[in-house]
Structure 1
Amino acid sequence: MEIYYLAEPKRKKDSRDAGNKARNDVEKICQQNQLLPVFPYNVDTNRKNKLKLWFELHQALHKVPKDKLLLIQYPLPLGYNLFLPGILKKYRVILLIHDLLDLRSGLDTTKEISLINQAHFIISHNQKMSDLLITNGVAKQKLFNLELFDYLRKDDSYQFNHPNDPYCLCFAGNLRKSQFIYHFAPEVAQLGVNLYGNNFDQTKKLPPKVVYHGAFPTEEIQEQLNGRFGLLWDGPSPLSCQGKDGNYLKYNNPHKVSMYLSAEMPVIVWSGAAIADFVQKKHVGLALDSLNDLPDIISRLTPKEYQTLCQNAAKVGQKAAQGGFLTSQLKAIVKQVQA
């Protein structure tokens, strides 16, 4: 069955923005699955000229037959979300959710979910997000759970060797909103922590054995990561994930978990995060209530148990590195349409 997709503006190859990586990988996976590209976005157009934006979008979408499926990454690029209601009315849209903007901002989600509900099919992050959508009126049969974002590798021949990394933890991300890194308990810091990412505060002192290594392009970061576990945590405190960011973790699939697993690195995640269900189901890591519990848990983890986590992480990571998670959901949607 023919499926079209909206091809996105070309982004900088050396970008250190993980959001670009996620969207670019979706486009590559669409190409792998022989979806047909539509090029509606003109990066040279003045985004304030809404009439011109709409004309260019309309001209491009005119090539899509009304009876075919059209994959759109949500939210659309800057300046284009305004036109989504019109597209949803005219085309059979598969909406792939990257972010629920109102939920992420701690706002009322009614309006945004009502808009999303106009799509024919919705690829949600996980069952927790799908349950939220269903509670707000989205029909269950529209929803397909991605489970994990794919994370394509730059070099699939690269050999990872995380069991021999001397430090326990690896944390990569926007360090400005990860203030917990400056407040590790001494027992946790002594396990060793490697930090990577933008917005490191040079004025703050890190605990001993917590080392900042800099920021790297998203296509190169995997080969720079060192640590026996990749860490998913957010907010100001190592005791729990709090605030808006902590609440959002209850529903979304953080892309950094895909990055770790695609690098064949087992993960440690907050037990309250939606992704914790996947981590425990696939046995690819550990779920903690508090980072202060880590020393005791690590001390009781046997070499055989850790080896099993590494093997499972490599298996799941290989699927993510090949685009397998999105491919599975696209096939499931086609199967439902053809049933």
Structure 2
Amino acid sequence: MSTSSFSALTTLRVGGTPRDVVTCTSAGELADTVAGLDAAGSSLLIVGGGSNLLVADGPLELTAVVAANEGIALIDATTIRAGAGAVWDDVVSFAVEHGLAGIEALSGIPGSAGATPVQNVGAYGAEVADVLTRVRLWNRETGVDEWVPADSLDLAYRYSNLKFTSRAVVLEIELQLAARELSAPLRHLGGERLPLAQARENILATRRAKGMVLDAADHDTWSAGSFFTNPVVPPEAADRVADLVGEEGMPRYPQPDGRVKLSAAWLIERAGFPRGYPGEGAPARLSTKHTLALTNRGGARAADIVELAREVRGGVAKKFGVTLEPEPVWVGVEI
């Protein structure tokens, strides 16, 4: 065991000091550690890549359990198994190198493989739900180490029934991919399909331009990625927003249930929060490349991120009557 600050364990680089940090290098060790802490009645937080966490400042009465089981392997010709602690982009790279399509559009997304089913990670027209077949869980309620089918997780837009709960810990995942030369249709290219390696490089370049690929030298990447989910609203609410702005071409994406998905970044900008807000010298700012990322400019604390999140969320709600929902998990803080 060792102690370390959450500022060293998360991509936002903020957060206080846990009681202990336990690093687990195998699925069995991860399950056993969680089981032992649960039996002792100790609070804990599972940490993978730390890309989806906003943790409070100061000392924290919990143990950080770091998933570091990083194995990636082919189970058969088209099935990949990855440990919860595997770097997600390494999983994507592995797939592309083996000529397997289905997750190339998810290149460059920070974090670990174990986190991807929890919030059903997605980008550019693809989601983990498209290829996830099953997940190995340590069920904290029953004490059972079990593989469960993906369809038992209620996967939806940035959601699973694992999210915001503590019922189970992801130990491993399995993905069913396709052996083909061309990518899945890429939404940002109008549905065009590219050779896999080319598609991956295109996605990485697109994400880098938005500050969405981790780079220690670039404070625009000291973030939790997209901080708010795109709101899904009734059609009349979308019409009201369009009328308020009076602008042609408002992004709106019809959903199967009749509702409409709006662009959180578009709403934030139209509510008066430009890139880089509130400006030079602020410890926490919107990314200078992409308004949907809240960033640490090098000296921010969790409280600074929280304050900015509240201001942006309140401004969008006041102008449009739409409440943005944060994507990261908040630990010890509330919006």
- TM-score normalised by L of structure 1: 0.30
Q: Write 1 or 2 for the structure with the bigger share of helix.
A: 1
